Chains A and B, each alone.
Chain A
Amino acid sequence: MPIADRVAVRLRVNGEEMAVMVAPYKTLLEVLREDLGLTGTKHGCELGECSTCGVLVDGRPYLSCLAMPLDLEGREITTVEGMAHGSDPDPLQVAFAELGAAQCGYCTPAMLLTARALLDRDPHPTRDAIKEALSGVLCRCTGYLKIFEAVELAASRGRRHG
């Protein structure tokens, strides 16, 4: 049985319906970056060992490098490009920028989305809850402290607008 070159997949990404023809063996990471041009989602290992490729699926943290697009039809996928409301950044994005929580910026998209999932579930998390929630995203620059502080600052500023 020859392997299909391309299959049709309908994905809902950042609130937008996107229908694309993709190789069925491409992971969500590859489809986002290469077929949909959403390069805000990064990658560090493609094996689930760093979560740099983290996105949200139905508001929960997900690894795009291990997720198969064909299983995600009908699910809501959020990438860093979908965090802002129009030109209004998410309060987490503002806090990360202000507090220097993004140094090189490479783990930042995954870190922001993971923090967004946390705040949506627990708007005023303790430091321990923040550490636990972010424990799956590796950062080599910050030592994590500015990231924790930025999540706390965003939490103190309340819910996202819009």
Chain B
Amino acid sequence: MPRPIANEPSAAAAPPSIGKIFTAFALIGISSFGGGLVAYLRDVVVDREQWLSKDEFLGALEIGQTLPGLNSTNVAIIVGRKLRGPRGATAAALGLILPGVAVLIILGLLYVRFHNNPDVAAALAGVAAAAVGLLLQVTLKIGGRSFLRPKDLMFIIPTFLMVGVFHVSLAATLFLLAPIAIWLNRPESLKKKAPAPSSDPEP
């Protein structure tokens, strides 16, 4: 029987069962063709099941985007944990991932078997060319006005060159650039301590 546990239940109601969590996320995992998973997650978690309020969901998304890993699986982990602790998080993540994995097992086996067939190779060339367009569109959409801001280009271009062209390892690139980028965006309170152009007296 589902029994309320003390892991930050978001509402007064008893948290959903593990099976219910798995099913809800598996439905997203199986129906979300073409990306944009966060929107699907929001629909189910906030609107349909009302497990999280709008603000709680935005909070979860903020964490999910800041931490490494896929935004969608990170959000699933956070929502699952809030509902049912470790087992809830596991059920949510597996629910989200497994349907796609099942589809990919089939696609993968077909690919391994037929990728040398000229018909299939021609279709795959089209599919791959389309995937590049999709990735570029997402990049331009997320990048938006960053591509016009010198302060952002100062990091976009070196990152692109280091990782994309010169194959500097991702770890090295992140450790070199991220501290500078984060420092340049440091909290205002710390900026005041730095020598400012105004006539602040030395501390």
- Does B associate with A? no
Contact surface of B with A, Cβ cutoff 8 Å: none
